[in-house]
Structure 1
Amino acid sequence: MSSFLKVLGGAALSAALVMGAAVARAETLTDALIDAYKNSHLLDQNRAVLRAADEDVARAVSALRPIIDFAISGRYQDGNTRSPSQGQYSSSAQAELTARLTLYDGGNNRLAIDAARESVLATRAALVGVEQDVLLSAVRAYMDVFSAVQNVSLAENNVRLITQQLRAAEDRFEVGEVTRTDVSLAQSRLAASRSNLVAAQGSLAVAREAYKRAIGRYPGVLSGIPRFPALPQSTDAARAIAVKTHPDITRAQHNVTVAELNLGRAKAAMRPSITASAGVVAEDDGGEYGTVGLSLNQTIYQGGGLYAAERQARTGIEQARAGLLQTVRLVEEEVGNAWSSLAVARAQLAATGEQITAAELAFEGTREEARLGARTTLDVLDAEQELLDARTARVQAEATQYVAIYRVLSSMGLLTAEHLGLGIPTYDPRAYYNAVSNAPAKSIQGKQLDKVLERIGRN
């Protein structure tokens, strides 16, 4: 219990710091988004996935290059009673250097390179999707902390106000203007308001932990509601942008291309391949000779496996194309849902503004009428509770509106560090790709690759 109170105490202290922002520089939503982008382990994980996909291109490129092998072999033979050369032995050793190069493979290796490149582009699009999720989570975390802080402040003000109401009821009871029931009602409401304050402080503590997970650190002094980012004028305009820019659609398009290239590879597997080889052999007796070879290979029958692979590739194309169409439909649905959520949030915000105005007038009027004896203590407490509920609803409506705005951006594929203009260096997926796509040998181009990896590590 004591540890929980410490957590609540820390949350209350954070609320006090946020509401008294004169002592420190206020933290903006942009600051939170920047830190979320820099500190995200999820982004680091998926960047590593992308670099692994880059290496698939390098491996495909290496298949077009010669393979050079070096081998040393030795042989020793001992004589025995059954050998014609009884009691004699012989030994031999040789070193061999060979090189093999595929001259023609029906285009399989070239298609493999193209497929690997398309897979890289699909993985890049997936990384953009992860970036959107990270930034949207940061927006939610920021607004959750901001609304939780405001709710704590409202709860604290409510406790102070009801405490004053209780004192006034006790004073009026002393002079016989109210009954013991009125005092008990005020005491009951005070206990309930204190309970609400503890609950609000607990919600703030939870929001702070979610903030740390999304941003990478605990929140400081929040600056408040940020400016609205620009949005299209209509749902149709948003959908049109989403179809062109959403990373899920881009990834699905590249997956279709990969499937089509895989069909070409399945067909190429039925064609012949030509391989050239050359080698040098040195023996222990001083002999040395070279070899040159050219081989033609053609699979005539494989039990139907080649044709099964071709049919499987065709179904892969159908699957990828259907997945693309379904992704477009899902993205369009998400745009519509996000736009509707934003419209609802805006309507709720406007309604809560009217609710607060009416509740304030009702509370002031009820309190004044109670002083004149026309209203009871319960009426005043009820009016105050309605005002608190209205203010709390507005806090939630403000947070919901801002999350809905950034959700619309995410549904269009525009919730990225670059589009938001965060003003920070962003991860360049081409740097590592350019360093490894030509399959560099570590011993020759290792220093350049090390520099790229070091720069990626710093980012």
Structure 2
Amino acid sequence: MTILRRFGALALTGLLCLPALPSRAETLTDALILAYRHSGLLEKNRAVLRAADEDVAQAIATLRPIISYTASAARQYQFPNDGTSESISPLIPGQRNSDDSFNSASFSISADLLLWDGRQTALAVDAARELVLVTREALTAVEQQILWDAAQAYLGVLDAQAFVELRQSNLQLLSRELQAARDRFEVGEVTRTDVAVAEAALASARSLLATSQGDLDLARAQYVEAVGQPPGNLAPTSALPQTAATLEAAQAIARQTHPTIRRDMRSITVAELNVERAERAVKPTIRARSSFTIGQDFEETGSIGLEMSGPIYRGGEITSIYRQAIANRDETRADLHITVDDVLLQVAQAWAQLAVSRARIDASQLEVRAAQVAFRGLQEEATLGARTTLDVLDAEQNLSDARANLISAQTSEVLASFQLLVAMGLMTVEHLNLGIVTYDPSVYYNAVRNAPSRKVSPRGEKMDSLLRALGKN
């Protein structure tokens, strides 16, 4: 299994050139940690998981005795009626006179225990446990998305900052070119057209700078959404995640670790358990029942016995449910097939994008070097009168475009590396080794899996403390 190196503030030559960093800059690791702690989506899905944990507790509870009580008290009235007239109260119009009345009261306790149902309830417990594992994989997928969004936001800010600085540098250079063109125009070395061309180029540079500054503002807003706070002094990163040596190796890892694939595999298990439950629906159910009652005159009655029940004919409902369970199982199997194909495609796309980005970097570095040589040469030739201002500005634009292409290619390389990590199912706090305490889903599950009664037992009190620690009380 590959391991991601811890991100640090290492300079990457030519990538997102920034001013000298202070002693403590925000790193990509810091951003990922903040995003993990800030995410409301993670909190939501953790609550969804805890609800799934409670499904296990409720399923287990059906295997235990069900004890209930009933208490009643009433005053009953009887009215004489000779069949021809009614006695009407002289005090209250319409109120019948009570010829006789008496009180009644009773209290009863009953108990019910499932003894055997063909393992239908036991299979329901197994299915609930598997659904917990399904939900855990879904939570891992959300965690991957949160960290991926944070990485994109971090690199987006760095990329936007680099473009702003590039446009500012270009603006300063064009300002000097315009001043030089005006000076040469004053002494008659160039025409007014050369000055106008330089002025147009400077105006275009101001427009590009304004666009880049707007992109930076948008990138900062996206960073706040993903991370939870405005970006500070972000450090460039060159510590790319180690993924796999070959595409085949990356796809093999994805088959084993991608949370969506693992989720669908668990879903198939749930579907198979539901098929078995539907198959056993024709089995009889045996219950033990008992009751104890205290009547009006404190007479005591009680009963205890066994009850067996089962279906005889339900109009074809049972067989329909069984066929439906089989169809749902086949659907989940098809879902797994589709998911595997989709994940493998994502791995292949990320792998190809990474290769393309690295090839673009090599080509862009050559392009920048060539454009620099051409620009300097044209500047020298222009001072000798062999080149026009337009030639110099064209060369400067080519150099600016080459530098922009290099920045874009270097950013794409980092993003493609993380995208490949996501496709492999490894964009998690644990795999990234971020060094923070993470949410442990087993803690809540272990506390509720045996269906403890709150406020009744030491285990229930422990459950109360856990809920308070989670901030849910």
In structure 2, the residue matched to 1:60 is 59
- Residue 424 of structure 2 aligns with an amino acid whose one-letter code is M
Is 2:466 aligned against 1:452? yes
**Counterpart contact for 1:362–1:383, Cα < 8 Å:** yes
Shift of 1:328: 1.2
User: In structure 2, which of residues 384, 392, 399 is the aligned counterpart of residue 372 of structure 1?
Assistant: 384
User: How many residues were matched structurally?
Assistant: 441
- Residue 201 of structure 1 aligns with an amino acid whose one-letter code is Q
1:366-405 equivalent positions in 2, closer than 5 A: 366-405=378-417
* Cα separation, 1, equivalents of 2:283 and 2:82: 50
User: What SS does the aligned partner of 1:336 have?
Assistant: helix
Provide Cα deviations, 1:176-232, integer angstroms capped at 9, x if missing partner. Answer: 001111111111111111111111000000000111111111111011123111121
In structure 1, the residue matched to 2:11 is none
User: In structure 2, which of residues 257, 276, 284 is the aligned counterpart of residue 272 of structure 1?
Assistant: 284
**Counterpart contact for 2:454–2:464, Cα < 8 Å:** no
User: In structure 2, which of residues 306, 329, 335 is the aligned counterpart of residue 323 of structure 1?
Assistant: 335
In structure 1, the residue matched to 2:76 is 77
Is 2:189 aligned against 1:177? yes
Is 2:217 aligned against 1:205? yes
Provide Cα deviations, 1:263-284, integer angstroms capped at 9, x if missing partner. Answer: 1111222110011112221123
Shift of 1:292: 1.2
**Counterpart contact for 2:174–2:201, Cα < 8 Å:** yes
* Cα separation, 2, equivalents of 1:362 and 1:447: 78
The 1:316–1:421 alpha-carbon spacing in structure 2 relative to 1, beyond 3 Å, is same
Shift of 1:92: 1.0
In structure 2, the residue matched to 1:35 is 34
TM score, norm. by length of structure 1: 0.93
- Residue 436 of structure 1 aligns with an amino acid whose one-letter code is V
**Counterpart contact for 2:264–2:336, Cα < 8 Å:** yes
* Cα separation, 1, equivalents of 2:268 and 2:331: 8
Provide Cα deviations, 1:93-136, integer angstroms capped at 9, x if missing partner. Answer: 10111111111111111000000011110111111111111111
User: In structure 1, which of residues 275, 280, 291 is the aligned counterpart of residue 303 of structure 2?
Assistant: 291
Shift of 1:451: 2.9
Provide Cα deviations, 1:360-410, integer angstroms capped at 9, x if missing partner. Answer: 111111111100111100011111111111111111111111010011111
**Counterpart contact for 1:29–1:226, Cα < 8 Å:** no
Shift of 1:447: 2.4
**Counterpart contact for 2:35–2:147, Cα < 8 Å:** yes
Is 2:424 aligned against 1:412? yes
* Cα separation, 2, equivalents of 1:411 and 1:450: 39
**Counterpart contact for 1:28–1:226, Cα < 8 Å:** no
Shift of 1:76: 2.8
* Cα separation, 1, equivalents of 2:305 and 2:28: 68
1:5-404 equivalent positions in 2, closer than 5 A: 19-23=18-22, 25-82=24-81, 87-404=99-416
**Counterpart contact for 2:26–2:234, Cα < 8 Å:** yes
* Cα separation, 2, equivalents of 1:237 and 1:83: 97
User: What SS does the aligned partner of 1:194 have?
Assistant: helix
Shift of 1:289: 2.4
**Counterpart contact for 1:33–1:215, Cα < 8 Å:** yes
In structure 2, the residue matched to 1:12 is none
Between 20-29 and 334-343, report the one with greater CA deviation. 20-29
Gaps of 5+ in 1: 1-17
User: What SS does the aligned partner of 2:229 have?
Assistant: coil
Shift of 1:40: 0.9
- Residue 111 of structure 2 aligns with an amino acid whose one-letter code is A
**Counterpart contact for 1:96–1:279, Cα < 8 Å:** yes
The sequence identity of aligned pairs, in percent, is 47
* Cα separation, 2, equivalents of 1:44 and 1:226: 31
Shift of 1:448: 1.1
* Cα separation, 2, equivalents of 1:415 and 1:176: 64
**Counterpart contact for 2:120–2:281, Cα < 8 Å:** yes
Shift of 1:429: 0.8
Shift of 1:446: 2.9
Aligned alpha-carbon RMSD (Å): 1.7
- Residue 272 of structure 1 aligns with an amino acid whose one-letter code is P
Shift of 1:453: 2.9
Provide Cα deviations, 1:68-98, integer angstroms capped at 9, x if missing partner. Answer: 11111123321212389x8122221101111
- Residue 57 of structure 2 aligns with an amino acid whose one-letter code is A
Shift of 1:21: 4.5
User: What SS does the aligned partner of 1:442 have?
Assistant: coil
Shift of 1:321: 1.1
The 1:226–1:30 alpha-carbon spacing in structure 2 relative to 1, beyond 3 Å, is farther
**Counterpart contact for 1:359–1:390, Cα < 8 Å:** yes
User: What SS does the aligned partner of 2:353 have?
Assistant: helix
User: What SS does the aligned partner of 1:239 have?
Assistant: helix
- Residue 30 of structure 2 aligns with an amino acid whose one-letter code is D
**Counterpart contact for 1:24–1:221, Cα < 8 Å:** no
TM score, norm. by length of structure 2: 0.91
User: What SS does the aligned partner of 2:282 have?
Assistant: coil
* Cα separation, 2, equivalents of 1:124 and 1:66: 30
The 1:96–1:289 alpha-carbon spacing in structure 2 relative to 1, beyond 3 Å, is same
* Cα separation, 2, equivalents of 1:222 and 1:77: 82
User: What SS does the aligned partner of 1:147 have?
Assistant: helix
